[in-house]
């Protein structure tokens, strides 16, 4: 029975819709049950939901716990379970109720936005996700602005499904991705995009144009940071989600060549992620010279002191 319920849940969630960001107070529900965990992986393949969990029981149990304790976390996690079960309208109604009880909670706004998006109501989803960003702009590794852009692209049409609109940057059209971003910005954007894709790919079934575009962009980010093998995995996943064309094939070919030859991409500020070993040799020699100099000065000073003592004794 438990396995049947779990298969039903996943089937309901993978009907071609794009999930945003689930914001349970914890991955472990407030009643102590494990909802999902993240597998350690270099590509954003999504959450692993607890196949042994009795999801049908959770909403009733969480509701009873709320009535006993008046702790809003139980209601919030009940809404999260309803979303995972595909009961989006019930989740929306519940989170709107939570908003009246305790207004302006970040997780409430974010989860209402998620439920609206899953229910196909993208305008309402955008309103609530923008509100969530205002309540906590640094949530999810400062990544929710990407979610906002995804919703705007859904509303604006396929002409907005591009790197410049979704990520406010570009990687050019050469065989090697080009960027004007600093290493710090590349690292930050890579982390933010990975988070958003891992959330989304927990529920989005191939093919999906927006996910495909963002996976290609993640591959480009990884490529310019010299992670060629991981970039190849990102590109492969992008192709699964429907990203095709000469450019991705060319970059796959180049990344494969670079990974074999262990090449390094130089960032815009001409600082390689793999530092030149000569730098470390020079630093080491400098430290060694400083040590010898210190010993030499100490020995001269010590000799003067001994000479003075001998003269005094004489």
Tens digits of residue pLDDT in 97-127: 999 999 999 999 999 999 999 899 999 999 9
245: left (phi over 0), alpha (psi -120 to 50) or beta: left
At which residue do the structure tokens 């529920």 appear?
A: 203
Tell me: pLDDT of 148 over 50. yes
Q: Are 125 and 151 in contact (CB under 8 A)?
A: yes
Rounded CA separation 70/28 (Å): 19
Rounded CA separation 78/73 (Å): 8
pTM strictly above 0.75 = no
What does 35-86 look like in DSSP terms, one character per residue?
A: -EEE---SS---EEE-TT--TTHHHHHHHHHHHHH--HHHHHHHHHHHHHTT
CATH superfamily of 1-136: Tetratricopeptide repeat domain (1.25.40.10)
Centre a 10 Å sphere on the Cβ of residue 79 and count the other Cβ atoms it contains. Answer: 30
Phi first, then psi: give them for residue 259, nearest 5 degrees: -65, -35
Tell me: pLDDT of 212 over 60. yes
**Percentage of the chain exceeding pLDDT 90:** 56
* pLDDT: which is higher, 82 or 282: 82
Q: pLDDT at position 17, please?
A: 30
Mean pLDDT, range 201-209, rounded to an integer: 87
Residue 238, C-beta contacts closer than 8 angstroms, at least 6 positions apart: 212, 213, 215, 216, 218, 219, 248
* pLDDT: which is higher, 21 or 34: 34
**Does residue 165 sit in helix, strand or coil?**
helix
Q: Calculate the alpha carbon distances from 37 to 84, 192, 257, 274 in Å.
A: 14, 19, 35, 33
Arithmetic mean of pLDDT over the chain: 81
Mean pLDDT, range 287-293, rounded to an integer: 71
Tell me: pLDDT of 85 over 70. yes
Q: pLDDT at position 32, please?
A: 81
Mean pLDDT, range 246-273, rounded to an integer: 74
Rounded CA separation 34/221 (Å): 33
């Amino acid at each position: 029975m438990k396995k049947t319920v779990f298969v039903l849940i996943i089937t309901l969630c993978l009907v071609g819709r794009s999930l945003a960001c689930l914001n349970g107070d914890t991955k472990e529900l407030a009643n102590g049950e494990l909802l999902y965990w993240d597998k350690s992986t270099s590509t954003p393949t999504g959450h692993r939901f607890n196949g042994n969990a009795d999801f049908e029981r959770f909403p009733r149990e969480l509701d009873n716990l709320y009535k006993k304790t008046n702790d809003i976390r139980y209601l919030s996690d009940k809404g999260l379970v309803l979303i995972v079960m595909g009961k989006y309208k019930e989740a929306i109604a519940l989170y709107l109720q939570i908003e009246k009880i305790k207004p302006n909670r970040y997780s409430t706004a974010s989860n209402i936005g998620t439920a609206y998006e899953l229910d196909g109501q993208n305008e309402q989803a955008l309103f609530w996700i923008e509100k969530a960003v205002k309540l906590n702009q640094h949530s999810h590794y400062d990544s929710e602005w990407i979610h906002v852009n995804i919703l705007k692209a859904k509303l604006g049409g396929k002409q907005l499904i591009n790197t410049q609109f979704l990520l406010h940057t570009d990687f050019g059209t050469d065989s090697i991705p080009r960027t004007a971003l600093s290493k710090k910005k590349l690292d930050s954007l890579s982390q933010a995009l990975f988070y958003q894709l891992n959330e989304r790919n927990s529920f989005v079934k191939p093919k999906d144009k927006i996910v495909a575009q963002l996976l290609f962009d993640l591959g480009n980010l990884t490529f310019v940071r010299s992670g060629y093998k991981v970039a190849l995995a990102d590109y492969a996943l992008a192709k699964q989600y429907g990203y095709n064309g000469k450019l991705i094939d060319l970059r796959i070919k180049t990344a494969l060549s670079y990974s074999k030859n262990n090449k390094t991409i130089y960032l815009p500020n001409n600082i390689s992620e793999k530092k030149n070993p000569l730098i470390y040799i020079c630093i080491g020699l400098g430290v060694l010279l400083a040590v010898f100099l210190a010993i030499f000065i100490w020995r001269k000073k010590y000799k003067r002191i001994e000479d003075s003592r001998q003269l005094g004794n004489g």
